[in-house]
Amino acid sequence: MEKIVLDTNFLLTVYELRLDIFEEIFRVIPSKYEIYVLSGTIKELEKLINSPLLSKKQAAKIALELIKIKNINILKISESQLVDDTLVDLNGYIIATIDTELKRRLKQKGTRILTIRQKKYLVLE
């Protein structure tokens, strides 16, 4: 079974692009999979709800709602751990992100990456 972890910026971008990630994940990964977010991602989204940027605030609210409605699994991490560092350290997971620096670090480690192409579909790298 594949395990996919959704990064904060991935969740925010999905809202902005109006992309159905669940349909896209099913298209890209036809085998069984489970979707996760880090507890640090939840905290980052909660902080963004207080953001002065209305688009980020709305995107964060929708992302948190989506996590709850779709019953996405939460991987607990220490509050002192940085989300990106934790994502790089995970073994056996596909990381869904659009963050260029994080993708570079993940590729160096040989981690599979799920990312958005042409603002309309997902690809597995």
| Strands 121-124 and 113-117, bridge-based pairing | antiparallel
Work out how many domains the chain is built from and give that number: 1
Q: Where are the beta strands (DSSP E) in the chain?
A: 2-6, 33-38, 73-75, 94-96, 113-117, 121-124
| Residue 66 CB neighbour total at 10 angstroms | 17
Q: Give 58-107 pLDDT, tens digit per residue.
A: 899 999 999 999 999 999 998 888 999 999 999 999 999 999 999 999 99
User: Quick one: average pLDDT of 45-64?
Assistant: 87
**d(C-alpha 17, C-alpha 1), whole Å:** 28
Q: What is the pLDDT of residue 91?
A: 94
Higher pLDDT, 43 or 51: 43
| Confidence (pTM) | 0.93
- Rounded Cα distance between 89 and 48, Å, is 25
Which H/E stretch holds residue 93? none
Domain housing 74: 2-124
CATH number for the domain spanning 61: value is 3.40.50.1010
Q: What does pLDDT average to over the chain?
A: 92
